[in-house]
Amino acid sequence: MTVRHEQITVASTKREETIEITPRVKAAVTRAKVRDGVVAVSVAHTTAAVFVNENADPDVQRDLLTTLARLVPDAGDYRHAEGNGPAHIKSVLVGGDITVAIRDGGLALGRWQGVYFAEFDGPRTRSATVTIIGERAG
Amino acid sequence: MTVRHEQITVASTKREETIEITPRVKAAVTRAKVRDGVVAVSVAHTTAAVFVNENADPDVQRDLLTTLARLVPDAGDYRHAEGNGPAHIKSVLVGGDITVAIRDGGLALGRWQGVYFAEFDGPRTRSATVTIIGERAG
Amino acid sequence: MTVRHEQITVASTKREETIEITPRVKAAVTRAKVRDGVVAVSVAHTTAAVFVNENADPDVQRDLLTTLARLVPDAGDYRHAEGNGPAHIKSVLVGGDITVAIRDGGLALGRWQGVYFAEFDGPRTRSATVTIIGERAG
């Protein structure tokens, strides 16, 4: 069994956007030389999130951000003084970490699944920790 | 330390429903012969989810689906062409993976907790990966 | 590689509140003597949750509870007989487990991040399992 961490840096260019990081998570898994285990991705921020969803039609990502903005609108009953109260709440609703199985050295993602970093208070330079735990190839 | 994966197949019969998979997760843990560790369950789909909640009163599951349908209604500002935009968003809100501790060979669930697969765009045949990592009994 | 569990008890004093448990998670990691790995925290209840978010301004926590109460109001179309239907739904939306990386013996949290237990149906005495998996210092 082995443990390996990698830090990923994500540069967002808008106030809100989702950025696919699947290739970077895959590359970290390959570098770890782990054949079977899990990979956890966790964001180091309180106005960002990470999730797995469709990476074929970009409209899915657009619909997600639009719906979150409707559920947690910019204007509302927020006391947090920095003005990014809604971003904190979206971060909690979407969640700050994911876990994906590693099988035969690859990510056990479905055909349409990609790993996404969600920016809710950009543009900023962000970071996430990718941790791989598992058994190395024999 | 050992790693073991199992693939679970879930056949949904409605467009939206929750299906308890606790016995199947428990059986996978038993087969892995792991005494202490964690089990991660992750869905391989972008319009489904997995979560832990009450398995005593079925109305809890009904209330969850009804509330999600109110928050993310079928008709709305969605651009995703396939017509299942809301299902993708519900999938992100509920989440695609869970992690539960394994203690003394069993799932460390509370008295009322069950593991549920959530179908948001069925009926379909779905799959999830159950990954067990931990120490085998001595 | 080693696995260690600790049970955390959280006593809530209100019907709804968030309680920071970062110091207790850190202490469990220190006691496990794990240098690199992950820690998973999972709640044993169906009307509570765990999440990571800002621990500097208490208004962030207030805004979260207020927004959840707006999205899932006390009065609504709930059939669950115990009257705590909304608490179950909030539990699913926020989620019942988190995973954080352990690097160099510490939690890989960002500067403003804290680990929170969320009570949605208190006051009660609650418990959560903290599971540490990783490599001990050499």
Digits of tens for pLDDT over chain B (138 positions)? 999 999 999 999 999 999 999 999 999 999 999 999 999 999 999 999 999 999 999 999 999 999 999 999 999 999 998 889 999 999 999 999 999 999 999 999 999 999 999 999 999 999 999 999 999 976
The per-residue pLDDT for range A28-59, each reduced to its tens digit, is 999 999 999 999 999 999 999 999 999 999 99
pLDDT score recorded for residue B81? 84
The ipTM assigned to this model is 0.97
Q: What pLDDT, on the 0 to 100 scale, is given for residue B137? A: 79
Give the pairing type, strands B2-11 and A106-107.
unpaired
Between the alpha carbon of residue B65 and those of residues B16, B68, C67, C88, the distances in Å are 7, 5, 19, 12
Provide, rounded to the nearest whole percent, the portion of chain C with pLDDT above 70. 99
With tokens 């240098």, the residue in question is C35
Please give the interface size between A and C, counted as residue pairs whose CB atoms are below 8 Å apart.
Answer: 99
**Would you state the pLDDT for residue A71?**
98
What DSSP string describes A43-79?
A: ES-SSEEEEEEE-S-HHHHHHHHHHHHHHS-SSSS--
Distance from CA of C72 to the nearest CA of A (A): 11
* Terminal-to-terminal C-alpha distance of chain A: 11
* Average pLDDT over all residues of chain C: 97
Asked whether residue C138 carries a pLDDT value surpassing 80, the answer given is: no
Three-state SS at C32: helix
The Cα C133–Cα C40 span in angstroms is: 9
pLDDT tens figures, C70-104: 999 999 999 998 889 999 999 999 999 999 999 99
Q: What is the pLDDT of residue C137?
A: 80
What is the amino acid identity at position B37?
G
DSSP A41: E
B96: which chain A residues are within 8 Å (Cβ-Cβ)? Answer: 51-53, 98, 113
Specify the pLDDT at position A127.
Answer: 97
Residues A6, A132: Cα–Cα separation, whole Å: 9
Residues B85-104 as b or e (16 or more Cβ within 10 Å = b): bbbbbbbbbbbbbbbbbbbe
Residue A137 has pLDDT above 90, yes or no: no
Task: Report the gap between the CA of C137 and the closest CA in chain B (Å).
Answer: 17
As a whole number, mean pLDDT of residues A10-20 equals 98
Nearest by CB to A3, from C36, C53, C108: name it.
C36
Q: Report if pTM > 0.80.
A: yes
Per the CB < 8 Å rule, is C60 touching A80? Answer: yes
Half-sphere CA count of C38, side-chain side, radius 13 A: 32
* Chains touching A by CB (3 or more pairs below 8 Å): B, C
φ/ψ bin of A33: left (φ > 0), alpha (ψ from -120 to 50), beta (otherwise): left
Distance CA(B32)–CA(B133), nearest Å, equals 9
**Do residues B12 and B126 touch, judged by C-beta distance below 8 A?**
yes
How sure is the predictor about A82, in pLDDT bands with cuts at 50, 70 and 90? confident
- From CA B25, how far away is CA B18, in angstroms rounded? 15
Question: Three-state secondary structure along chain B?
Answer: CEEEEEEEEEECCCCCEEEECHHHHHHHHHHHCEEEEEEEEEECCCCEEEEEEECCCHHHHHHHHHHHHHHCCCCCCCCCCCCCHHHHHHHHHHCCEEEEEEECCEECCCCCEEEEEEECCCCCEEEEEEEEEEEECC
Instruction: Judge whether A94 and B96 are in contact, CB under 8 Å.
Output: no
Lookup: tokens for C29: 């990691």
Amino acid identity, residue B23?
Answer: P
Contacts of B64 in chain C (CB under 8 A): 88-89, 92
Whether B80 sits inside 8 A of A63 (CB atoms) is: yes
